Amino acid sequence: MSDSKPIALDAMGGDHAPHEIVAGAVHAVRERGLAVVLVGSPRVLYEALADHDATKEVPIVRAEEALSMDEGALASLRRPRSSIAVACHLVRRGDAAAVVSAGSTAGIVATGRLRLKGQQGVLRPAIAVALPTLPAPAVLLDAGANAEVKPEMLVQFAHLGATYAELAHDIQDPKVGLLTIGSEAEKGNKLVKRAHELLQGSPGLNFAGNVEGHDLLTGKVDVITTDGFTGNVALKTMEGAVRYAFAELRETISDSRLARLGAVMQRSRIRDLRRRLDAEAHGGAVLLGLNGTVVIAHGASRAQGISAACQLAADLSAAGVVPAIGDRMTSQSRSHRLW
């Protein structure tokens, strides 16, 4: 196991908590060599760890409360000792490298902002999601943290996403696109038009212009900036389309013996495609702009998804994404041209 700081895993958040969360923690420790600490009810977590004979491998930090999946942002104030709050506190105190949770997204965002605080110069943190484009993933943000934004925030999201693309996906000078209803500069509402102007004049940003919904999976740009409402709708539309496409593919394959034979011959490629389009395989979304690394796993994550989220959190912490964002924001503020 690694001697580095552990990943603080919210064991009480998620549709399948705590058992799948615990199973994911055990997998991360045993198969990935990560250090993980579970945060939640000691009695429940000890019993779950005992099922895996792992009570001595994964430590537990007590948390008296837990946020339910249907609780919103105000829950962060009502439950100051929730498992996600305690996990954030471990990072703030320097006892953990990052936070991972599959709990309520609104609760995670609100608790993260309250406990870890936004980085200096960051107006709002944003949720970044890796889209399964080739040859490298594209970063979409904001994917749901900020339904209403100002043009300056969309520019900041672009800088957050560019930093993430550079460190997480090794993309040099990533191309940034602004999501709207047309490729022309004059397309969109007042928010988008003003953001387009600011993006064009933002130093240190490789702005490639507007992109549309059909560009999201083409690899046309490396970073896509948008407001949280639009980004979340776009993301869930893509997830639904992928599920529909694979359901249709399964039905088509089962229609005839010839189709089944063709599927067998292409089995490895179909398996690779499914893995690439599986949201859990990528570890989840990342809340950028806070004084700490926060990974938001899919609420329906099973053990493998939780393990992947822990790996993503460990990789981002090791890559120094938080200080890199801090350096970029400092540089932008000194230019006196971003805001």
CA pair distance 100, 10, nearest whole angstrom: 6
pLDDT at 180: 95
Longest dimension (CA), the chain: 66
Q: Left, alpha or beta for 8 (phi > 0: left; psi -120 to 50: alpha)?
A: beta
pLDDT at 86: 96
CA pair distance 156, 228, nearest whole angstrom: 13
Q: Is the distance from CB of 39 to CB of 48 less than 8 angstroms?
A: no
CA pair distance 281, 305, nearest whole angstrom: 6
Angle between helices 105-116 and 83-92 (to 10 degrees): 30
pLDDT at 67: 87
CA pair distance 46, 238, nearest whole angstrom: 38
pLDDT at 280: 64
pLDDT tens by residue, 75-90? 767 788 999 999 999 9
Strands (E), the chain: 7-10, 36-40, 60-62, 98-101, 126-131, 138-141, 175-179, 206-211, 223-225, 285-288, 293-296
Which residues contact residue 67 at a Cβ distance below 8 angstroms, ignoring those fewer than 6 apart? 12, 13, 75, 76, 79, 82, 83, 84, 103, 104, 107, 111
pLDDT at 339: 46
**Three-class secondary structure of residue 119 per DSSP:** coil
Which residues contact residue 329 at a Cβ distance below 8 angstroms, ignoring those fewer than 6 apart? 119, 120, 121, 122, 156, 159
| pLDDT < 70: residue spans in the chain | 1-3, 76, 246, 249, 258-282, 334-339
Strands 138-141 and 175-179: unpaired
CA pair distance 87, 111, nearest whole angstrom: 10
pLDDT at 64: 87
Instruction: List the one residue out of 38, 72, 334 whose CA is nearest residue 203.
Output: 334
pLDDT at 338: 45
pLDDT at 2: 45
pTM: 0.90
